């Protein structure tokens, strides 16, 4: 035994004698995860788990008279998928906020939960009389919890779990939207049959996270936005989408810390942004915020030092959208900014998310 080991064993046994042995236990998941390349520590244990999200929603449901909590279906692994509803008058315009089709994109969910809490306070008083709001946080709960039928051993984040893009069957839910609903994965089917087809939805913001290295004009973006680009989208649906984008863009530019680019996304109706617009005439906006909560490619994940502004970006987006719909100012929005908004490019040719 060399001297170092001996010293360690002495100090360990003296700690045990003091009953402090748990203090030297390694945190779960710490072994084998390297540092995270300049993006700060990527720590998943600060995020809501599925169960803590459900508890949070039930607490808000009990507190808020205007809120109703609905289960719209189940995930592959049998988790209930929840939707928070605020419907004061069925005649009002209705907006849907959707988060975490991709399980490893969670800060938008954290922001959506905070927004739900705000709806129960005086901060948005009056708004709910004039707009109906549907919020589905964490559509892909199995992916968010890493409870999937494939290996996540290469994923980089530290914490008590890994989060993945795919559902438990290794399917990308945001490529399911052109199918017959009976052929869809259960999470997408719940969304189509029990939300898109059942409610008269006018607007949707589909919230995602992309990698960390997208930029416009030499500056990293805090997020990028895009309207539906499928050629079968009706002109008035597209116009509504562009107006919704204008509301969000203006609200974030005003804040000073937001730097928004134009996302380069595909035309396929299998993508939610396009599919919801083509099939249900919903004016949609894709919002791709910076940085994922976990990934097997290191540069995609973003550490917790950026969490605050990304959550704030989500809350600002949701708040601006409901206010503009409630007071009808969305109708007067100038959409010409879309013609000059620069497309984002990538510093390392990362693959796009959506
Ligand atoms: Zn995504």
How far is the C-alpha of 219 from the C-alpha of 92, rounded, in Å? 39
Q: Which domain holds residue 243?
A: 37-346
Q: Are residues 203 and 254 in the same domain?
A: yes
Q: Tell me, what's the pLDDT at 224?
A: 96
158 and 213 inside one domain: yes
Tell whether 352 is covered by a domain: no
Same domain, 292 and 233: yes
CATH number at 123 reads: 3.40.630.10
Query: Do 177 and 51 reside in the same domain of the chain?
Result: yes
Question: Could you tell me if 89 and 162 lie in one domain?
Answer: yes
Q: So what's the pLDDT on residue 124?
A: 74
Per-residue pLDDT at 301: 86
What CA–CA distance (Å, rounded) separates 248 from 311? 15
pLDDT-flagged residues of the chain (< 50)? 1-38
Stretch (H or E) spanning 207: strand 203-210
**Cβ neighbourhood burial of 72 (10 Å; 0-12, 13-18, 19+):** buried
Question: How many distinct structural domains can be found in the chain?
Answer: 2
Same domain for 14 and 122, yes or no, is: no
Residue 127 is predicted with a pLDDT of 94
Q: List, in order, residues 6 or more apart from 30 with CB less than 8 Å away.
A: 158
How far, in Å, is the centroid of ligand 1 from the Cα of 6? 51
User: Could you tell me the distance, in angstroms and rounded to a whole number, from the CA of residue 206 to the centre of ligand 1?
Assistant: 9
Alpha carbon of 234 to ligand 1 centroid (Å): 25
The pocket of ion ligand 1, defined by CB under 5 A, consists of: 102, 105, 208, 353
Closest CA to 77 of 16, 142, 131, 25: 142
Please classify residue 281 by burial: count the beta carbons closer than 10 Å to its beta carbon, then call 0-12 exposed, 13-18 middle and 19+ buried: middle
The predicted-structure confidence for 249-306, as pLDDT tens digits, reads as follows 999 999 888 999 999 999 999 999 999 999 999 999 999 999 888 898 888 888 877 7
Q: What is the pLDDT of residue 351?
A: 59
CA of 21 to the centre of ligand 1 (A): 42
Q: In what order do the strands lie in the sheet with 345-346?
A: 219-220, 214-216, 345-346
Which 3 state secondary structure label does DSSP give 14?
helix
Are both 123 and 27 inside the same structural domain? Answer: no
Q: How far is the CA of 223 from the centre of ligand 1 (A)?
A: 12
Q: How far is the CA of 194 from the centre of ligand 1 (A)?
A: 22
**What are the residues facing 136 on neighbouring strands?**
98
* d(CA 208, ligand 1 centre) in Å: 4
Tell me how far the alpha carbon of residue 26 lies from the centroid of ligand 1, in angstroms.
Answer: 32
CA 348 → CA 46, 49, 293, distances in Å? 28, 32, 19
Q: Please give the distance, rounded to the nearest whole angstrom, from the Cα atom of residue 210 to the centre of ligand 1.
A: 7
């Amino acid at each position: 035994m060399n001297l170092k080991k001996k010293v360690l064993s002495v100090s360990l046994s003296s700690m045990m004698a003091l009953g402090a042995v748990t203090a030297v236990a390694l945190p779960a998941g710490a072994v084998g995860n390297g540092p995270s390349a300049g993006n700060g520590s990527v720590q998943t244990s600060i995020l809501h788990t599925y169960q803590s999200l459900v508890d949070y929603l039930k607490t808000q449901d009990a507190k808020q008279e205007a809120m109703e909590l609905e289960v719209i279906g189940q995930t592959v692994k049998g988790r209930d998928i929840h939707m928070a509803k605020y419907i004061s008058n069925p005649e009002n315009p209705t907006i849907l906020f959707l988060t975490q089709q991709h399980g490893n994109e969670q800060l938008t969910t954290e922001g959506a939960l905070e927004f739900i809490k705000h709806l129960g306070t005086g901060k948005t008083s009056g708004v709910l009389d004039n707009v109906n709001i549907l919020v589905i946080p964490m559509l892909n709960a199995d992916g968010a919890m890493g409870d999937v039928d494939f290996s996540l051993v290469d994923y980089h984040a530290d914490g008590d779990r890994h989060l993945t893009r795919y559902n438990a069957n290794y399917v990308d839910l945001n490529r399911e939207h052109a199918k017959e609903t009976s052929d869809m994965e259960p999470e997408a089917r719940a969304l189509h049959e029990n939300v898109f087809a059942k409610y008269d939805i006018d607007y949707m913001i589909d919230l995602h996270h992309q990698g960390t290295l997208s930029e416009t004009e030499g500056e990293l973006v805090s997020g990028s936005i895009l309207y539906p680009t499928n050629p079968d989208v009706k002109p008035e649906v597209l116009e509504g989408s562009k107006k919704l984008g204008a509301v969000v863009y203006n609200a974030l530019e005003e804040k000073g810390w937001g730097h928004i680019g134009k996302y380069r996304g595909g035309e396929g109706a299998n993508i939610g942004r396009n599919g919801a617009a083509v099939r249900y005439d919903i004016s949609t906006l894709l919002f791709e915020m910076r940085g994922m909560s976990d990934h097997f490619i290191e540069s995609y994940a973003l550490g917790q030092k950026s969490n605050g502004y990304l959550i704030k970006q989500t809350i600002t987006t949701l708040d601006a959208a409901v206010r503009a719909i409630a007071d009808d100012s969305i109708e007067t929005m100038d959409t010409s900014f879309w013609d000059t908004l620069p497309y984002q490019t990538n510093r390392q040719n990362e693959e796009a998310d959506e």
